[in-house]
Amino acid sequence: MASLAVHSKKHKVCIVGSGNWGTTIAKVVAENTQQHADIFESEVQMWVFQEQVHIPKDNRHYKSASDQPQNLTEIINSVHENVKYLPDIPLPHNIVANPDLVAAVKDATILVFNLPHQFIAKICQQLQGHIVPHARGISCIKGLAVSDEGCELFSERIGHELGIYCGALSGANIATEVAQEKFSETTVAYAPPEMDSRHPTPSGTPLPDAKGEEIDMKILSDGVQAGKKKLTPLPADYPPLHHGNMKKLFHRPYFHVYLVNDVAGVSLGGALKNIVALAAGFVSGLGWGDNAKAAVMRVGIMEEVKFGKMFFGSSVKTETFTEQSCGVADLITSCSGGRNFRCARMAVEEGKAIGVIEERELNGQSLQGTSTAYEVNSFLRKEGKEKEFPLFTAVYEILEGRHRPEEIPDLLNAGG
């Protein structure tokens, strides 16, 4: 039975990042904070890395005065459009672009991280000591953090650095299509800390997920520690952040959300599929057709599952990869029209380095697949497991120039 409790405070949301996908998520969230005014404050702060930009002449907001460069935040707040990273998409007026990171996150209880993964360490450092201790996070960052200590999810890194619980959002979500309100699905992984639920379970009791399965509380406790610091409970005067309210934050008629507890699986699906998309782009650039691409995708999803279970344990569910949008659906989309696929295909077709294509095609944004391929290979090499992941290893070797895309069949066969 639904609770009739009325809470005296509402959740304030901040989007940390404002690229193509970050601005799209800000649009989705801002629509929902207006709709669910009993749970969320309407205003959504969006942190924007300040840039001087020109409004393009073919943009509906162009005027002769636009020939002078302007601050991107001022453009967004005046015309309600991110003319550089999400052009021609009207944004809700309750989005406030803010160039000051600390000011943007002030009093925010929900932080949605959506920026290139190479910047997350610096951002977390800047945020330390400036967020409310009971804040909760959602990472939309597709990548892996690899260091001498091992392989870490960005949801974990954010949680550890900031002392907060952090879930993950990932799916078959080409940003522009979502922004244009074309139907799509996504997966949100959020295992609500028991202290945040409306009816807390006894300490140590597993929590059921949306399908009634149990999650390992040890995994949850790992995710809510920051060194020796324990998770600060969400105060009782805020609405609880269970699956139902998290769904209200992201679900739209055109953007369907499915909640699970497998944060590691959702994060890995979003990261590793970018490596597979590069391989699919390579074989497509060779003109080998759909059969070759399907073969690469089949091997790729098997390696995703294997990587998750081998290095992140029993909390990773096979069905996260085979049934959810963050798994098989994201893989299909990324290997059909995603930026990693397109740039890899053009690199082969034009005989150019993928970095050249990236610089030409992405308007200052970065490919996630290349950096993830390097980081994953570094980790696998350290673990002595390169041969057990022949597709991931082949992509790295091709990027390094040690093998050619034409050698992919032999490289996959060499892995057994």
Is 273 an active-site residue?
Answer: yes
What is the per-residue DSSP string for 117-179? Answer: GGGHHHHHHHHTTSS-TT-EEEE----EEEETTEEEEHHHHHHHHHTSEEEEEE-S--HHHHH
User: Binding residue per annotation — 368?
Assistant: yes
Closest CA to 273 of 348, 376, 364, 135: 376
Residue 370: its H or E element: helix 368-383
Indicate where the chain has its CATH 3.40.50.720 domain(s): 11-261
Tens-place pLDDT, residues 303-358:
999 999 999 998 899 999 999 999 999 999 999 988 999 999 999 999 999 999 99
pLDDT of residue 2: 44
pLDDT at residue 289 above 50? Answer: yes
HSE (CB half, 13 Å, CA atoms) of 400?
13
pTM, 2 dp: 0.85
Closest CA to 262 of 190, 164, 157, 369: 190
Q: Which residue has the higher pLDDT, 124 or 226?
A: 124
Q: What amino acid is encoded at 136 in this protein?
A: R
Indicate where the chain has its CATH 1.10.1040.10 domain(s): 265-415
Residue 95 contacts residue 79 (beta carbons within 8 Å):
no
User: Binding residue per annotation — 20?
Assistant: yes
Tens-place pLDDT, residues 151-182:
889 999 999 999 999 999 999 998 999 999 99
User: Binding residue per annotation — 384?
Assistant: no
Q: How far apart are CA 366 and CA 118, in angstroms?
A: 10
User: Binding residue per annotation — 175?
Assistant: yes
C-alpha distance from residue 108 to each of 14, 35, 387 (Å): 6, 18, 45
pLDDT of residue 229: 54
Q: May I ask the CATH architecture of the domain 11-261?
A: 3-Layer(aba) Sandwich (3.40)
- Average pLDDT of the segment spanning 52-75: 85
User: Binding residue per annotation — 49?
Assistant: yes
Tens-place pLDDT, residues 173-225:
989 999 999 999 999 999 877 767 543 333 333 333 333 333 333 334 343 33
Tens-place pLDDT, residues 82-95:
999 999 999 999 99
Domain at 265-415, CATH homologous superfamily: N-(1-d-carboxylethyl)-l-norvaline Dehydrogenase; domain 2 (1.10.1040.10)
User: Binding residue per annotation — 337?
Assistant: no
Q: How far apart are CA 232 and CA 225, in angstroms?
A: 10
Q: Encoding tokens for residue 44?
A: 């959504």
No. of helices (H) and no. of strands (E), the chain: 17, 12
Instruction: Name the CA radius of gyration of the chain, rounded.
Output: 21
pLDDT of residue 203: 32
pLDDT at residue 255 above 50? Answer: yes
Q: How far apart are CA 140 and CA 21, in angstroms?
A: 9
User: Binding residue per annotation — 289?
Assistant: no
Catalytic residue among 27, 84, 273, 317: 273
